[in-house]
Structure 1
Amino acid sequence: MELDNQANPAHKIHHVVTCCSWLKFTFLAMLFCVLVSPAAAYDPLDPTGNITIKWDVMSWTPDGYVAAVTMNNFQMYRQIANPGWTLGWSWAKKEVIWTMVGAQTTEQGDCSKFKGNTPHCCKKTPTVVDLLPGVPYNQQFSNCCKGGVMASWGQDPSASVSAFQVSVGQGGTSNKTVKLPKNFTLLGPGPGYTCGPAKVVPSTVFLTPDRRRKTQALMTWNVTCTYSQFLASKNPSCCVSFSSFYNDTVVPCPSCACGCRNKKDCIKGDSKLLKKAGINTPRKDNAPLLQCTHHMCPIRVHWHVKQNYKDYWRVKMAITNFNYRLNYTEWTLVAQHPNLNNITQVFSFDYKPLVAYQSINDTASVLLIVFSIF
């Protein structure tokens, strides 16, 4: 991939991993890794980004209610990749899940006290996952059945939604008797998200299919989940190297840029073990299998200055995946540079600018690069 810019590049490179003071431009490159404050789940490049979980009570039942649960990914560049999201919570009373459409719990729990009609789940702390594509029509719900994969809002707003329907029993049959679930957790697909408490909000208004009449939910509550890279991993997940046409020297990623690991945690590129069956199969704990490198990063972003003229400069960016267990079929790169607000031409990818916030030097512009491989 390449991009042109009419302005002369400054030359000081800052990255979440490395800093080279002899250069004079500021560049921040991230592929699924962001520099954030360790004290809170906050991203200065996307300060309002979050995943909002909305519960809409659509009808009452003899012992509870039927709710539509909708998850919206309002993050600008962090999508939920395969194997998708996992949502959990704790019931406030003795609720059970009678049925689900568009999702399922991972465990049924102890339903022995029920005779005849058995609930879908009796656990106090249910764990819910999305259904896979291709399930029968009667098990589908609007925006369901994508294996828990959600695009980021900056990539594709229409694909940044996931939803399912749940029928809750023993949960109260009015706005006064319903108790909101507690202790929400969200994995997507690894750790890093922190969810706040459920809060009652004005009931959602819906349009009928013919768009001629408005209806509204009987009760609505929201849960907001935010992401912290420090919660996800104590080490960065990528690093940046640098080179230019006027110098044969390459500024590499620093040694142990993503943490120093034992030799048993990586594998050489020419190892015979790579031919072993199942060596590339992802693990449930998402543990990587890295190629042995001096930087020990799953991802390396290389920034190469190809041309530097008075009126414009051109850069080529190359992204290398060193994780044998994970394919990045859809990825997003975020780069910060003083001249990215003056791009004249790009190759091989789609892009859009991100708004610079007060927490960032106002001379810097942020570029959101989206590139999907099908």
Structure 2
Amino acid sequence: MPTFIIILSILFFFPTSFSQPSTSSDCNGVLITYSYQIGDRIRPFLDDSVNQPYKFVSNLTVQNNGPEELKDWRVFVGFNNGELLVSAKNAVLDDGEALPANVSGGVVFSGSPVSDLKSAIETAGDVDLMEVRVELVGTQFGGGRRGAPLLGNISLANDGFSCRNSTTQENETTVCCLPDPNAKTDVSRTVNYSPLQTGDLTIMYDVTMTYESNYWAQVTITNHNPFSRLENWNLSFDWMENEFINAMRGAYPKVVNTNDCLFGSQGEFYKEFDFSKALSCDKRPTIIDLPLSKANDTNLGLVPFCCRNGTILPPSMDLMKSKSSFQMQVYKMPPGLNRTQLSPPRNWKINSTIGAEYLCGHPIRVPPTLFPEATGLPVGTAAVATWQVVCNITKTEKKPKCCVSFSSFFNDSVIPCNTCACGCDNGKDICNANEQAILLPAQALLIPFENRTRLTEEFAALQRRKLPNPLPCADNCGVSINWHLLSDYRKGWTARITLFNWGETDIADWFAAVELKNAIPGFEKVYSMDGKVLNSTIFLQGFPGSNYLIAERNGSNPKKDPRVPGTQQSVISFTKKEPGIDVGRVDGFPTKVYFNGEECSIPVILPSDAERRAVVSAVFSGVLLILVIFIVMQ
């Protein structure tokens, strides 16, 4: 008896250490509570109360009062005030969309990092294991201090539960969902995908395998611009949730560095992880392509479209070489330790040693990519999740790397590349950077600029032209292109294009593009190159085996002969389909020329046909004079 009294005294004076449910509801299932806390008006301040933005703070509580554990909880919240959700603590959007996200119209939350809720029976009523509280912060429209904006409804989105009608009192909405083995949720798990976008270049971020703490992603860069090319591409992006790269195939970080993990939050969380084998813990890593020799490497290669030294050709040149791909294993950090919580990196940027500059947009969620089945079966395997980044060429002012000269059969003078077409170093060269380039004899195009002085002076003396002092500076371009009007007759005309490589390295897989707006309908044939028409442009490249533009080399006798550029040349024939086409004055010369995706500097004047017209006029006058004499004699 005394023992019994002592036990009662202990129980009376010392309350139990087990925490009790925070609600007095009689719900014996899953109790869901949405509690609106505050709504503060934020800028811009508007007179229109409907469109006035407010910051809102709310709590979503999910408590398992049922007899069994609730696995992988999912809750639907029927937002309907144009809400933009900025943060959600202890939960993620079930469709995997990254925050901030537009959740107006309703959204499904799933638990992260706690996705399962224990029952009171198996925890002796420990609320910390039975309940999860999600703190929500976002922006809404038309709500605020006058009271909580009404929700459409809230409900459990798991199968096997039947929810009563939700009730709202002041700032709080509650619903009780009871176990029902036959019940199926009417909340779909579909994702609202955006349609695929178009652009000059796209980047696909495909999650192919996912685990609780890490996932594998395949990144595919595709060039869609018919005249753009990338060499030695560099791809960079920002991790938003302290992720790090553990392994890669098909590409590699430009700098391998794991110090930020060892001495940061990653090292504290992954205490037993061997960071000496990881690749990059940089918040903004830069990725580079691997050389061709690694394409079949069992550790680093064997990824389709990988390992091409960073070369991505335009699709008009080679569709199979217009993309590059690599794979990487990404480790996540809390609270993102959930197989379904997947967030792509942001702030993407891609650049290369040649070609245009790109401006990339934000990643958007698109339908999962279908990959060919590894077994060879005629079926597709869908990615777990896919995001698309669209990049477009920016119009930036930068010096060209190539230039164009014009010449014609009816004029002995060549209009050379513009002075300082590809830049000038006035402190190095004694020349006039502001003087217009001097007309040249045709043979001067075949020798380097520094060896043209004598030919230039002799040609000027022959034509009785005075030369400026100092002479104009060179074009300083590594590649020059001569467009020569070869012939012009009644039914057609021909031109000859010659490419010169003045650089020290061979140029592989070169291509050029020539815009001829009015003459394109009459395009007939390219003879010594592979040529085709794309809109108003002729696309040119070398035939297989002739796609190298070799570097400048020594002459036959290096002691006295100038160096010789690498060249490629072809004649192009046209018919005169367009009425009124003026080949000699305008239409026979290109308005734009590109080499390897970069626009070349082009002369501002064209060869004069005054000499030809003078000859024609003299012939016509002579014929007319003979005709008059003949008539008089009659």
The TM-score normalised by the length of structure 1 is: 0.71
- 1:100 is the counterpart of 2:257: no
Unmatched 5+ stretches in structure 2: 1-197, 431-447, 452-471, 550-634
Partner Cα separation in structure 2 for residue 175 and residue 342 of structure 1: 59
Classify the secondary structure of the residue corresponding to 1:260. Answer: coil
2:449, 2:474 within 8 Å by CA — same for their partners in 1?
Answer: no
- What CA deviation, in whole Å up to 9, does each residue of 1:279-318 have, x standing for no partner? xxxxxxxxxxxxx953333332211111111112111111
The counterpart of 1:195, out of the listed 344, 360, 376, is 360
2:369 maps to: 204
Classify the secondary structure of the residue corresponding to 2:226. Answer: coil
Shift of 1:148: 1.2
Greater relative contact order (CA < 8 Å, ≥ 6 in sequence): 1
Alignment of 1:82-93 (within 5 A): 84-93=232-241
The TM-score normalised by the length of structure 2 is: 0.43
Q: Which one has the largest radius of gyration? A: 2
Partner Cα separation in structure 2 for residue 178 and residue 213 of structure 1: 25
Normalized per residue, the structure richer in helix is 2
1:117 alignment partner AA = D
1:301 alignment partner AA = I
2:307 maps to: 145
Classify the secondary structure of the residue corresponding to 2:538. Answer: strand
1:44 maps to: none
Sequence identity of aligned pairs in percent?
30
The counterpart of 1:222, out of the listed 357, 370, 388, is 388
Normalized per residue, the structure richer in strand is 1
Shift of 1:150: 1.5
Partner Cα separation in structure 2 for residue 49 and residue 320 of structure 1: 32
Unmatched 5+ stretches in structure 1: 1-47, 271-291, 356-364
Structure 1 runs of 4+ with >6 Å offset: 265-268
Number of residue pairs matched by the alignment: 292
1:313 maps to: 493
1:273 maps to: none
2:353 alignment partner AA = P
Partner Cα separation in structure 2 for residue 343 and residue 293 of structure 1: 36
Partner Cα separation in structure 2 for residue 269 and residue 307 of structure 1: 31
Partner Cα separation in structure 2 for residue 158 and residue 332 of structure 1: 16
Shift of 1:205: 1.9
Shift of 1:173: 5.2
The counterpart of 1:74, out of the listed 224, 243, 253, is 224
2:438 maps to: none
Partner Cα separation in structure 2 for residue 123 and residue 352 of structure 1: 45
- 1:331 is the counterpart of 2:510: yes
1:342 maps to: 522
- What CA deviation, in whole Å up to 9, does each residue of 1:135-190 have, x standing for no partner? 22232122111111111111000111111111100164557632221111111225
Partner Cα separation in structure 2 for residue 179 and residue 79 of structure 1: 30
Alignment of 1:1-374 (within 5 A): 50-81=200-231, 84-109=232-257, 110=259, 111-113=261-263, 114=267, 115-118=272-275, 119-135=278-294, 136-140=297-301, 141-170=303-332, 172=336, 177-190=341-354, 192-208=357-373, 209-228=375-394, 230=396, 234-262=398-426, 264=428, 269=450, 294-324=474-504, 326-337=505-516, 338-355=518-535, 365-371=536-542, 372-373=547-548
Partner Cα separation in structure 1 for residue 377 and residue 427 of structure 2: 61
1:147 alignment partner AA = N
Shift of 1:53: 0.8
1:330 alignment partner AA = D
Partner Cα separation in structure 1 for residue 533 and residue 428 of structure 2: 41
Shift of 1:341: 2.8
2:305, 2:323 within 8 Å by CA — same for their partners in 1?
Answer: yes
Classify the secondary structure of the residue corresponding to 1:240. Answer: strand
Q: Which moved more, 1:346-355 or 1:201-210?
A: 201-210
Shift of 1:105: 0.5
Partner Cα separation in structure 1 for residue 345 and residue 290 of structure 2: 22
1:139 alignment partner AA = L
Shift of 1:369: 1.2
2:405, 2:417 within 8 Å by CA — same for their partners in 1?
Answer: yes
Over aligned residue pairs, what C-alpha RMSD do you find? 2.5
